[in-house]
């Protein structure tokens, strides 16, 4: 028998949900949502399950991940129930349920945990630098640049990078496996032929790289179309920049953190500039749209959304300053800024990638993949 959690509404409000109990089931949101079809009243089904507190059904559903928050449903709701924001809150809630460590739930629902973890991880980096940094030489390279690798040899930094990347991958992949168990693995009524998992896997890569699900929100209003396309393009620019920067610092650190000063057209600089511009443009765009509350999806901002943007902004700015100080031969500002840069970057990656905002970028493509696998299996059964 289905388990009902009478306190569910209260719990979900901690993840950002508004007053969804006001829903009187009129169906306007389902009528406008492009994801609705005859088998799925999208997003009304999620609203009903949330109102009833049916957690098991919610935790085995992929619907919150298929929604790209176009906001059409929220605009048409006569009760101001804000179904789009409910779907967003459910994504945060599900992230905490997939996470076996329990950290995601704590980070989403407690400011003490959120800010305490950032301070703790930043302090770890500071302590490591206090005890293990190399000489702070004021001698410059032949090209007039700072000898950053004397102060922070890339081989040592790379060891830390690899440990961090291993931890991030372990937590994120084990949480995705947990998601799989909830959605498919532990449900006896779902039988998937093995070959379907392989056949459909390319969709994880496609949707991770393009976030293509956005295009399903096909509003007819031209202003809104432009707004959504802009959002998608900037989101894509930000995400590709984030991924490029992550690969540069984790896989190619020896090539990226060099004391050489290359010409501006060198691939090392061009990739760095692409990622830096993408991160800067993205962060500014999302800051402004959240401050202006100009779109449905930016009307309500959870504290973790701000934290992510602030950490990303600080990581980008400090990275730019390290670059400027280094190539213009300013040793002490380079060294101090480099430490500060890592004090921001490390918590941002450790918290956001496996447990918070960034993990949504991984859960979405997997949700689409699982959804396709389940649909294909149902077709074979018929
Ligand atoms: S439009 Fe609002 S009131 Fe109507 S079903 Fe959707 S959420 Fe409920
Ligand atoms: S935000 Fe858009 S995609 Fe999501 S449920 Fe509402 S109408 Fe559907």
Residues 59 and 114 both lie in one domain: no
Q: What is the pLDDT of residues 8-31, one digit of tens each?
A: 999 999 999 988 889 999 999 999
Question: Residue 347 C-alpha to ligand 2 middle, in angstroms?
Answer: 32
Question: Residue 334 C-alpha to ligand 1 middle, in angstroms?
Answer: 55
Q: What is the arithmetic mean of pLDDT over 242-264?
A: 92
Residues 152 and 212 both lie in one domain: yes
Q: What is the pLDDT of residues 145-182, one digit of tens each?
A: 999 999 999 999 999 999 999 999 999 999 999 999 99
- 183 has a pLDDT exceeding 70: yes
Which value, to the nearest 10 degrees, does the dihedral of the CA atoms of residues 242, 245, 250, 251 take? 120
Q: What is the arithmetic mean of pLDDT over 251-261?
A: 93
Of 198, 183, 338, 197, nearest in space to 259 by CA? 338
End-of-domain residue from the set 81, 98, 115 = 98
Q: Which ligand is nearest to the CA of 73?
A: 2
Going by C-beta distance under 8 Å and a sequence separation of 6 or more, which residues neighbour residue 331?
Answer: 136, 137, 138, 140, 146, 147
Who wins on pLDDT, 221 or 207? 207
Residues 193 and 289 both lie in one domain: yes
Residues 180 and 231 both lie in one domain: yes
Instruction: Examine residue 3 and state whether it is found in any structural domain, yes or no.
Output: no
Instruction: Examine residue 1 and state whether it is found in any structural domain, yes or no.
Output: no
SS3 labels along 100-143: CCCHHHHHHHCHHHHHHHHHHHHHHHHHHHHHHCCCCCCCECCC
- Indicate which residue's Cα is closest to atom 6 of ligand 1: 29
Which range of residues forms the domain containing residue 80? 8-98
Going by C-beta distance under 8 Å and a sequence separation of 6 or more, which residues neighbour residue 282?
Answer: 234, 235, 237, 238, 241, 312
* Cα-based distances in Å from 346 to 17, 175, 296, 332, 366: 29, 20, 31, 21, 25
Q: Which ligand is nearest to the CA of 213?
A: 2
- 314 has a pLDDT exceeding 80: yes
Residues having CB closer than 6 A to ligand 1 are 23-29, 44, 47, 77-79, 81, 83
- Indicate which residue's Cα is closest to atom 1 of ligand 1: 77
What CA–CA distance (Å, rounded) separates 142 from 261? 10
Residues 132 and 37 both lie in one domain: no
- Indicate which residue's Cα is closest to atom 7 of ligand 2: 33
What CA–CA distance (Å, rounded) separates 51 from 12? 10
- Reading the block at residue 206, the tokens are 């496609």
What CA–CA distance (Å, rounded) separates 37 from 235? 27
Residues 247 and 216 both lie in one domain: yes
Residues 145 and 29 both lie in one domain: no
- 271 has a pLDDT exceeding 60: yes
Residues 89 and 112 both lie in one domain: no
Instruction: Examine residue 56 and state whether it is found in any structural domain, yes or no.
Output: yes
Q: How many folded domains does the chain comprise? A: 2
Of 65, 81, 115, nearest in space to 351 by CA? 115
Residues 76 and 221 both lie in one domain: no
End-of-domain residue from the set 72, 98, 124 = 98
Residues 221 and 91 both lie in one domain: no
- 364 has a pLDDT exceeding 90: yes
Task: Evaluate whether 14 touches 109 at the Cβ level (below 8 Å).
Answer: yes
Instruction: Examine residue 251 and state whether it is found in any structural domain, yes or no.
Output: yes
pLDDT for 336 equals 97
Residues having CB closer than 6 A to ligand 2 are 32-33, 35, 42-43, 67-73, 83-84, 87, 217
Q: Which ligand is nearest to the CA of 48?
A: 1
What CA–CA distance (Å, rounded) separates 320 from 273? 9
Instruction: Examine residue 2 and state whether it is found in any structural domain, yes or no.
Output: no
Question: Residue 82 C-alpha to ligand 1 middle, in angstroms?
Answer: 8
Residues 75 and 155 both lie in one domain: no
Residues 114 and 84 both lie in one domain: no
Q: Measured from the CA of 27, which atom of ligand 1 is nearest?
A: 5
End-of-domain residue from the set 41, 74, 98 = 98
Q: Which of 28, 32, 73, 211 to mutate to test the pocket of ligand 2 (most atoms within 8 A of CB)?
A: 73
């Amino acid at each position: 028998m289905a388990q009902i959690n009478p306190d569910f509404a209260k719990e979900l409000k901690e993840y950002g949900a508004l007053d969804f109990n006001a829903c009187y089931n009129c169906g306007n949101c389902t009528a406008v949502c492009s994801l609705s079809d005859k088998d799925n009243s999208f997003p009304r089904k999620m609203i009903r399950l949330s109102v009833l507190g049916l957690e098991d059904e919610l935790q085995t559903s992929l619907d919150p991940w298929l929604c790209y928050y176009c906001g059409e449903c929220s605009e048409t709701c006569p009760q101001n129930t804000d179904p789009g924001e409910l779907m967003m809150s459910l994504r945060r809630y599900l992230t905490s349920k997939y996470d076996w460590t329990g950290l995601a739930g704590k980070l989403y629902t407690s400011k003490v945990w959120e800010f305490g973890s950032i301070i703790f991880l930043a302090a770890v980096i500071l302590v490591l630098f206090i005890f293990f940094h190399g000489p702070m030489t004021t001698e410059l390279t032949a090209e007039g640049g700072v000898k950053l690798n004397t102060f922070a040899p890339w081989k040592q930094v790379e060891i830390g990078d690899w440990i961090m990347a291993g931890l991030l991958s372990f937590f994120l992949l084990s949480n995705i496996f947990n998601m799989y168990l909830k959605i498919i693995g532990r449900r006896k009524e779902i039988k998937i032929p093995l070959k379907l998992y392989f056949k459909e896997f390319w969709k994880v890569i496609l949707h991770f790289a393009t976030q293509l699900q956005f295009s399903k929100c096909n509003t007819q209003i031209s202003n809104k179309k432009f707004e959504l396309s802009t959002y998608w393009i900037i989101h894509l620019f930000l995400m590709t920049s984030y991924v490029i920067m992550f690969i540069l610092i984790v896989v190619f650190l020896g090539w990226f953190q060099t004391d050489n000063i290359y010409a501006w057209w060198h691939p090392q600089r061009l990739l760095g500039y692409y990622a830096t511009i993408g991160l800067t443009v993205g962060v500014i765009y999302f800051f402004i749209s959240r401050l202006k509350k100009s779109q449905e999806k930016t009307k309500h901002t959870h504290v973790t959304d701000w934290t992510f943007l602030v950490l990303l902004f600080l990581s980008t700015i400090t990275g730019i300053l390290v670059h400027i100080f280094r190539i213009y031969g300013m040793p002490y500002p380079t060294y101090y800024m480099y430490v500060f840069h890592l004090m921001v970057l490390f918590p941002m990656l450790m918290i956001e990638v496996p447990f918070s905002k960034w993990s949504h970028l991984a859960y979405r493509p997997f949700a689409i993949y699982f959804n396709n696998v389940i649909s294909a299996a149902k077709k074979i059964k018929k």
